[in-house]
Structure 1
Amino acid sequence: MTKNAFRRRAIASLLLATLLTQTPTWAEEFPSRPLRIVVGFAPGVGMEVSTRLLAEQMGKELGQPVIVENKPGAATMIAAAQVAAAAKDGYTLLMLNNQTANNVLLYKKVPYKNSDFTPVAGGGVVSMVMAVSKTVPVTTGREFLKYAKDNDGKLFYGYWGAGGSPHLLAARLASSTGLTLQGVGYKDAGPATADLASGRIQLFFTSVTHGLSMLKAGTANIVAVGTPERLPSMPNVPTFSESGIDGMPNPWWGYGVPVGTPPAVIQKLEQAIKAAVESPRYQAMLASTGSIPMPVSSPAKFQEFIEKDQEKWAAAIRPLKLELD
């Protein structure tokens, strides 16, 4: 072997040894710049407010700012399509939620597939309540079911946004109990609340915070709650299960990244989100809104949760025979 060939071989061996012994990789150095969470709702919506607090806590864990970017519209499809097309580097997350997952069951054209995202970690589950007009002579869920059966086909429920949670929960109640309920669509919760107070409609499903405000204002009765246990803020109101109402899904939210994001990056994001969710401030926020932590412990469990939950929403969607544009 010539002296030059020996030298080239020695240099190549040294370079290889250096590469093999280098422990830092681009994934281990993640994140080296700000991250963003894209949210498909306007500012002020419950899940969006929760995400802002989570982003703040995540930033402390990761040592980089986490920015919330609102992309409302098209039933969260604008936000989801944007993240599906984003770089697979972990710097762009999507606030996943039941609406985003259910769009493929509701709309003719959806600009993404649910498989375009890898779920990372859950944010929480929204507890819904059953609000009934005070013109209806009932105070519990069981009493409402009996009254609705005695007046089958004569009661109206309100909802805002075809295919949204209030719409689907009322439809699920009807299909699971054999009741005939008439739906009335609204642009937002305000007119529906007013019509519930006046008795023009008799029922709608809404969030705990909205339900509590109506209860305190004396404009409606809350006859059942979607939490596993009774709420401390409404200790006399039975749960859906106690009321004989089973198989009711609850809205949820969590966080995902474009499929193909490196596992090491996903693991780091999962750890940061978990730490944020477990923080006292976040837990207090959940308790104040009647929401509960999502019962998942890994990205795989989160994926399993979404798939099982979608089966419940599908049971509510099928009877409506919706095919939205």
Structure 2
Amino acid sequence: MKSLQTLGWSSHFESDLRPDDLTNFSLGRVTQVNKTNFLVRNTSKTITCELAGNLLYAQDEFDHPKTGDWVLYMPYSELGIITRVLKRNTCLYRKKPGSFDSKQVLASNIDYAIVVQCLEIGINLRRLERSIVQLKIANIEPIVVINKSDLLDKSSSQSAEIEEIKNKYTCFLLSAKSGEGLMELRTTIEAGKSYVLIGASGVGKSSLLNSLLDIEEQKTSSISSSSQKGTHTTTSRELILLSGSGIIIDTPGTREFGLAHDGEFSADSAFNQIASLAEQCKYHNCTHENESDCAVIAAVEEAVVPKAEYLNFLKLNKELEHYQSNVQERKNKGKKLSKIIRNMKKSGYKDRK
């Protein structure tokens, strides 16, 4: 299994193997998901795979193999047939665009997320906070990269925003073009660990990946000078091995990053200062909206916590509550429908003419 460790293999996945799995099947990690097939990397090569019937007709798309998944497959001619997806260690997902209660997987079995913003578009603290909340839900550690540092005006408001980010998260200021900060980022990437690149279109994720690879493998695009918006360069999620280092999953730029979580979760854990203040509130279930003796509200009034950060905190919590409410409503409808079907069967509905 040592050779698999360079692909991110760990004891977590080994514990999900059955006694005869490695005798009957081959093992690999999904590097890319296409419309009709999957690319799977084993210890020596990448092969094209298709799904076995049990996965092909799975009701929940969430159960299909995703980029980063470990799978068991059966070699068939020059192809492979994926028969099982091993239990995921972590899973980064978002609310599926256009849906009220469905999730879309961005990548699985991730240890760290490199959240990229750039000075050309402008730093967006609120978008960053949104990303951090979803990463906390997924139990993935964030690393913030501020790209295109050559554009930094130290007298501008962006300089203050960068200092705020540095005080909260592991942060690197770099330029993929000049190479500034790249060596520092490289040294933090651990062998056998998996990293995912996330960020809006045009922030320089592909250029950053090129610099880490030292080769021009990824197509790159620049920001539109008229709209200051990026265009999608990476069109699919792809897992790439860094020579002698970790594993990087590149993702297309995301215009939407809706929050999603089935269970109860508060955005507090992504707002360290607010979470710390919340412990001082009079009521343990304080919503920090209109309660008396709320330490968070007091800190906002005293400008200890920026009002924009506080309002975003409330907004993200409301969004999570709304998603969870929609999920619960769907589950309740499903239970009612199942009960109706059971009662119909008991009453002999099938025998009626």
Instruction: Calculate the TM-score normalised by the size of structure 2.
Output: 0.24
Larger Rg: 1
Larger relative contact order (Cα-Cα within 8 Å, sequence gap ≥ 6): 1
Instruction: Calculate the TM-score normalised by the size of structure 1.
Output: 0.26
Task: Considering fraction of residues, name the structure with more helix.
Answer: 1
